[in-house]
A and B are shown apart, each in its own frame.
Chain A
């Protein structure tokens, strides 16, 4: 058995620290930005850009120097302080931009911030890949790109390990600084091990390098106990620009994000990843009920609409007071679903006695689970289902507002049952984005419910009843019911029904939402102004209206347009022109892809026809580069799409998502290993073309069969199906790397350059694929379109390779 190279540890640690740094920086940056897919896409793009630049620098270095270990030592010595400084700088970013407390950063600031903060880490990690690939080549004493392939496999394995370690272990026990310092220390240790001087090509690390790494190692270990204090200081620094003059009471790490609790007077505000979830009364609040009035209105208005609510399902919101107010009604049982156990635990320790009493009530069954999964699997029936979760600002949250979820919820309602959801709005619904989003929710509900009534101004309550007479829009009967139940709470009274159902506002809001979204350009023209005297909402008929324009006004699991509308609304709230730019994306058409495809193929053909007799074959370089790019793009687009589909069909379970990602990486590593074993350094454009064809066919097959996966009833079958598909996507991606690296090298005869190019181009493709799929293609064109996109781009690469091969 061949001896393992001494720098194998460094390769693995590159994967580990890359993963840890990426996750930590992502979490930290999302505290500053907004947790939507666009922010994530921008962060990942910035990461990629700098890793790519680092790869280029590493290539230049590797081609000019043989002292790879020395450079690794320099890199490792810089990496640890750079990681710490990056996290600290992230926490001070809002201050740097002089951001208004409570305001979101604009798109331009998000881009600039990401680029600034990720530069040093990205460059250092990008350099490491090429340095290690060369180390491996020197170790193998070859002139090929096999060492790069091995590095690629090792890094992927490190990624898997780092990802799983973070989500299953580190996030629960360590803060951001501790996680990255741990990663940095492991890199230092691995470099010391690689440079201990007993391995052939990996010659010993010079004394100065060894000393520097040792000093850093010692500093890291000795300073480790001080990191909680640094973390605390960093949080307080950041807090001053999020909510000044609010005392930061507690900070906890949950796998769903960082949970912060702030106090002002007797009010407690709960933030997840820097974003306000809800405010509630603290233990000392003398007017606790008024403090939680929004929750009280939601609960009482919803429950009073039902004649006799006995069994209630509450998804989210219980900690902001909704649960306690529900219990004031004569309900027999409330199933309260809360996703995040850490949040519940924190709330138990800080909130007022009313909420604690509600949580302890024998009538309450608290379940920590994904709400979608719970509703899907439950056989129970409820009289009222209250969904009190944040707006559909992300793909995960959007699942509570889709066609499929509403259908599932309706199936779980008893006769005369009600579904109640809410969303943020503006009083006149004049903004395009807010009207598009809320009309989408209304129309999606109306597909499954006979009656839909929307109530409110800044915040809307959507009532949905399967029967034609299940909702009251006149206060009188509701007042009578409310009084008969003998409820007394300062936060709500019989008089509130008249406030909520004020005829003018009620008629206007319902008229706008009912009429908007019924033409193909409605998203652009915005909502119509209601007539001066609109019809009463529940007496209005839809018979005289055009059908809803479903591509943009029906929110489904497989086309989650709701969160794209919310993304544009977020653009509005940043006060920049981001919304205008994002809004134009709604007009994209699949046919637009034809132009870049034709241009690329034309360029390859042109280069092929005009190629010099003895040259580096620019047509082949372009075709191979395109293959690398499209493989990265399509496999990542498919992975995102598979995750979306999996979430919809299975439910959002954090551990499962981690596992799915691990399965993809395992496929990737296996594919690379497989090709490496069979192909070695033989450039084979035919085989590469075959892989492109295989990816295209694979994507096409999924596109055709994905809708059928909804028929899978068993959770295990769904998981198995998606695991196989994900592994296959990873495998195809992995197969591609050694082939393309070898193909490049066959043209340019420079192994480090070839490896670096492939690595960088593939990352670029992957990042663009992730952003395109999650921000654009999935929500606007649907999940199936992501697979079609993959099929088209890989088909293009196949055609380009066939042209260049001749």
Chain B
């Protein structure tokens, strides 16, 4: 499909009802509609504007009759009447045809240290081109990128970047990988697939950091193009997923198992939130499951929570809680457990599980020193799982 569709003009927000009660409500009576006009799509790749949207036919839609569609990309399986958009805000039914609103209009296209994603067992110290769009099929109350992920495409500025431009950007910058990260890549599935196909052809790695809320069939197709995946396992608790993530728990486990079966390199990230998902019993259960089902070599990142988005009034995770969680994980048999977002913490570095030698020393997302010999510990020769070779 070419990109000849005219950029969609975002609708102005409909006039909202008056705020009821209170002086603020009275103030609202004087309000005029705030129109949000899109900037025209830039002519050159990279230029863009607010509300840049190019609707494009999308896969994984099933016709239900009477122009109704079901989106089978993720477990929500939204059933959409013509004109309706799914929970992700980016996939819609346009006159009985399924469309994606996030093709070639990324909000993020930026170089990042690979450790920032975080991938700690993939080409340490390298830089990657991170790509992401608006939209998400979850609704975490502690979302770090809520002003991109939890909004519709017409509400943010985006770049005009067809897949080939993204790949070219990565190649020009001399990067070794493209990462679909920082937002939720599942929702820009078609765009990601297009980039990934071209990237693979160009010899670049494809990396994805996802919430893992995707159906098995689209995931199977995706896995074939990915080289490494980091999945957010936000808690080991269905209630937490329901109340704080706005999703379901079991599909995430299913995704992890499918990734395991594919043999792809897998890392896991859990943000430890004080009082909400930091019970050591739960963390121990989670780690035992990871150990038993995914393998003891699966790297686990236990990240510090900072007051964010809707959980602004909750204090950051005590470092001692993170230490305790890490000990719990190690006691469960996991070999590579990292403490994230505490730059300077000793558990940021990768240690050989046999001899304890620091094979990769880190400060935050910067790598100080790597002592790996083709994926083996520089001291005892133990093989460390990951993508290391040039």
Binding site for B on A (CB under 8 A): 38, 41-42, 44-46, 49, 100-104, 107, 111, 114-115, 242-246, 262, 264-267, 269, 274-276, 279, 285-287, 290-291, 293-294, 424, 426-431, 434, 458-459, 490-493, 495-496, 498-499, 502, 504, 508, 524-529, 531-532, 572-575, 577, 580-585, 587-588, 592, 767-768, 770-772, 775-776
Contacts and interface: CB of A to CB of B under 8 A. Distances in A.
B109 interface: yes
Contact of A264 (B22, B111, B321, B323): B321
Contacts of B344: 290, 293, 490-493, 495-496
A768 B111 CA distance: 50
A413 B159 CA distance: 42
Given A504-B111, A524-B36, A577 B315 contact: no
Contact of A504 (B28, B33, B112, B320): B112
Nearest to A512: B157
Given A427-B145, A493-B344, A573-B312, A772 B275 contact: no
A482 B248 CA distance: 48
A582 B34 CA distance: 11
Given A102-B307, A264-B321, A508 B22 contact: no
Contacts of B33: 584
A599 to B, nearest CB: 12
Contacts of B365: 499, 502
A524 B34 contact: yes
Contacts of B320: 265-267, 285-287, 291
A155 B248 CA distance: 58
Contacts of A426: 144-147
A264 to B, nearest CB: 5
A100 B151 CA distance: 21
A580 B147 CA distance: 13
Contacts of A107: 19, 24
B21 interface: yes
Interface string B239-283: 000011000000000000000000000000000001110000000
A45 B156 contact: no
B157 A526 contact: yes
Contact of A266 (B156, B318, B343, B366): B318
B108 interface: yes
A458 B22 contact: no
A104 B312 CA distance: 8
Contacts of B316: 279, 294
Contact of A267 (B141, B169, B315): B315
A526 B48 CA distance: 14
Contact of A588 (B22, B30, B112, B141): B30
B27 A496 contact: no
Contact of A38 (B21, B24, B314, B345): B24
27 contacts: A101-B314, A102-B312, A104-B312, A111-B20, A246-B275, A264-B274, A265-B324, A269-B315, A276-B312, A276-B313, A287-B323, A427-B145, A428-B145, A458-B144, A458-B306, A491-B344, A492-B344, A496-B363, A526-B50, A527-B157, A529-B157, A529-B159, A532-B46, A532-B109, A574-B310, A592-B30, A770-B23
A791 to B, nearest CB: 18
B107 A529 contact: yes
B124 to A, nearest CB: 15
B308 interface: yes
A575 B113 contact: no
Nearest to A523: B34
A527 B32 CA distance: 21
Given A103-B310, A574-B310, A267 B318 contact: yes
B158 interface: yes
Nearest to B47: A531
B312 A498 contact: no
A504 B363 contact: no
A15 B280 CA distance: 54
A531 B147 contact: no
Given A42-B24, A266-B320, A491-B344, A575 B157 contact: no
Interface in B132-172: 141, 144-148, 151, 155-159, 169
A596 to B, nearest CB: 9
B355 interface: no
B251 to A, nearest CB: 22
B5 interface: no
B364 interface: yes
B111 to A, nearest CB: 5
B286 interface: no
Contacts of A430: 107, 145, 147-148, 151, 156-157
A528 B42 CA distance: 13
A772 B30 CA distance: 12
B31 interface: yes
A529 B134 CA distance: 13
B69 to A, nearest CB: 27
B202 interface: no
Contacts of B345: 290
Interface string B318-362: 111101100000000000000000111100000000000000000
A290 B342 contact: yes
Interface string B16-60: 100111111111101111111101000000101110000000000
Nearest to A586: B34
Nearest to A106: B310
A427 B130 CA distance: 14
B23 A41 contact: yes
A285 B323 CA distance: 12
B345 to A, nearest CB: 6
Given A293-B344, A430-B107, A573 B318 contact: no
Given A38-B24, A245-B274, A279-B315, 19 more contacts: A41-B23, A46-B22, A100-B310, A102-B314, A111-B25, A274-B313, A290-B319, A290-B342, A428-B147, A430-B145, A430-B147, A491-B344, A493-B344, A498-B366, A574-B310, A575-B310, A577-B16, A580-B16, A588-B31
